[in-house]
Amino acid sequence: MSKAGRLVVLVSGSGTNLQALLDASADPAYGAEVVAVGADRDGIEGLARATRAGVPTFVEKLGDHPTRGEWDEAIAARISSYEPDLVVSAGFMKILGAPTLEAHTVLNTHPALLPSFPGAHGVRDALAHGVKVTGCTVMLADAGVDSGPIVAQEAVPVLPGDDEAVLHERIKVVERRLLVEIVGRMAREGWTVSGRTVRIGKETGEESK
Ligand code: GRF
């Protein structure tokens, strides 16, 4: 069983999910701490949040590498240098390659109820489809787009008059809480993966006392 005390969090944008993890890990009882924050671009609020919290940051831009494979190797090396127990992709807008996925467990969060509406526009696509209920999914990353084993999901209603921004904000309130809860439980109780089933806690399914 794996446990997750040391977190490396990857971001590409505003970093409100990162902030929720930083805030939670201020309490030692949470069981996990953010040891580094990585990004695929400069000048984002996610990196500023890390710096304000005194957490080291790194940036690995795809365009700075001749090939995707070299970027994959470079970001895996950066992540591994912090010896994380768990990598959290929290609004990181790149698919991680084999060098990272083979070395680490990567947790990802998505603003829709997978397997519906994967990809970069999950909120927009759900709205365009006319669903009445959407939500968020916390899952393990695999080589596909939002296709890894699901760890937890929570539903969020779509309300009349919602646009993409309003609906995404309603989802993100739930998403942050769910991500913090799942990362904390994985850190404190450990986890196992069997096929597409992710179990947090003892293999019997009981929670640790
Ligand atoms: C989240 O909804 C995440 O699921 C999606 O982008 C958003 C990132 O938000 N991929 P933030 O950067 O954590 O504020």
Q: What's the predicted TM-score (pTM) here?
A: 0.94
Annotated ligand binding at 197? The verdict is: no
Q: What pLDDT score was predicted for residue 209?
A: 39
User: 170: Cβ below 6 Å to ligand 1?
Assistant: no
130-166: pLDDT as tens digits: 999 999 999 999 999 999 999 999 999 999 999 999 9
Q: Is residue 68 a known part of a binding site?
A: yes
For the segment 43-101, what is each residue's pLDDT rounded down to a tens digit? 999 999 999 999 999 999 999 999 999 999 999 999 999 999 999 999 999 999 999 99
pLDDT tens digits, residue range 113-138? 999 999 999 999 999 999 999 999 99
Q: Name the band, by pLDDT with cuts 50, 70 and 90, for residue 202.
A: confident
Pocket residue to mutate for ligand 1, from 18, 172, 177, most atoms within 8 A of Cβ:
172
Provide the 8-state DSSP code for 23: H
104 lines ligand 1 (CB under 6 A): no
How far is C-alpha 104 from the geometric centre of its chain's CA atoms? Answer: 13
Q: Where are the beta strands (DSSP E) in the chain?
A: 6-11, 33-39, 57-59, 86-89, 106-110, 133-140, 150-157, 191-194, 197-200
